[in-house]
Amino acid sequence: MTGLPQALADQETADLAAVEVEFARQAQGAEPWTLAEYLDRVQAVHGKYDPLRYIQRKQAA
Protein backbone atom coordinates (compact mmCIF):
# COMPACT_ATOMS: atom_id res chain seq x y z
CA MET A 1 0.00 0.00 0.00
CA THR A 2 2.98 2.30 -0.44
CA GLY A 3 1.57 3.90 -3.63
CA LEU A 4 -1.66 5.03 -2.01
CA PRO A 5 -0.35 8.10 -0.12
CA GLN A 6 1.35 9.41 -3.25
CA ALA A 7 -1.77 8.77 -5.32
CA LEU A 8 -3.81 10.70 -2.75
CA ALA A 9 -1.33 13.58 -2.82
CA ASP A 10 -1.38 13.56 -6.60
CA GLN A 11 -5.17 13.73 -6.66
CA GLU A 12 -5.21 16.57 -4.14
CA THR A 13 -2.67 18.45 -6.24
CA ALA A 14 -4.78 17.86 -9.35
CA ASP A 15 -7.87 19.18 -7.57
CA LEU A 16 -5.96 22.27 -6.44
CA ALA A 17 -4.75 22.80 -10.00
CA ALA A 18 -8.37 22.61 -11.17
CA VAL A 19 -9.24 25.39 -8.70
CA GLU A 20 -6.38 27.45 -10.15
CA VAL A 21 -7.66 26.90 -13.69
CA GLU A 22 -11.18 27.88 -12.70
CA PHE A 23 -9.86 30.95 -10.86
CA ALA A 24 -8.03 32.03 -14.03
CA ARG A 25 -11.13 31.40 -16.14
CA GLN A 26 -13.31 33.38 -13.74
CA ALA A 27 -10.81 36.24 -13.80
CA GLN A 28 -11.55 36.71 -17.51
CA GLY A 29 -15.31 36.89 -16.93
CA ALA A 30 -17.70 39.55 -15.75
CA GLU A 31 -17.69 38.36 -12.12
CA PRO A 32 -14.20 37.24 -11.06
CA TRP A 33 -13.79 35.40 -7.79
CA THR A 34 -12.79 37.41 -4.78
CA LEU A 35 -9.73 36.32 -2.83
CA ALA A 36 -12.06 34.98 -0.14
CA GLU A 37 -13.92 32.84 -2.69
CA TYR A 38 -10.65 31.45 -4.01
CA LEU A 39 -9.39 30.65 -0.53
CA ASP A 40 -12.73 29.02 0.36
CA ARG A 41 -12.40 26.70 -2.62
CA VAL A 42 -8.79 25.85 -1.77
CA GLN A 43 -9.82 25.13 1.82
CA ALA A 44 -12.65 22.92 0.57
CA VAL A 45 -10.15 20.83 -1.41
CA HIS A 46 -7.91 20.44 1.64
CA GLY A 47 -10.95 19.65 3.78
CA LYS A 48 -11.92 16.89 1.37
CA TYR A 49 -8.53 15.19 1.75
CA ASP A 50 -7.87 15.76 5.48
CA PRO A 51 -10.05 12.82 6.62
CA LEU A 52 -8.46 10.56 4.02
CA ARG A 53 -4.97 11.47 5.22
CA TYR A 54 -6.07 10.82 8.80
CA ILE A 55 -7.29 7.35 7.83
CA GLN A 56 -4.01 6.64 6.05
CA ARG A 57 -2.00 7.68 9.09
CA LYS A 58 -4.12 5.46 11.34
CA GLN A 59 -3.69 2.49 9.01
CA ALA A 60 0.07 3.05 8.75
CA ALA A 61 0.51 3.18 12.52
Could you give the number of structural domains in the chain? 1
pLDDT digits (tens, 9 = 90+) for 11-55: 999 999 999 999 999 999 989 999 999 999 999 999 999 999 899
Task: Identify each DSSP E strand in the chain by its residue range.
Answer: none
Provide the residue range defining the domain that includes 16.
Answer: 3-60
> Model-level pTM?
0.82
Which contacts of 7-11 are long-range, i.e. CB under 8 A and separated by 24 or more positions? 8/49, 8/52, 8/53, 8/56, 11/49
pLDDT beyond 70 at 4:
no
Q: How far apart are CA 35 and CA 1, in angstroms?
A: 38
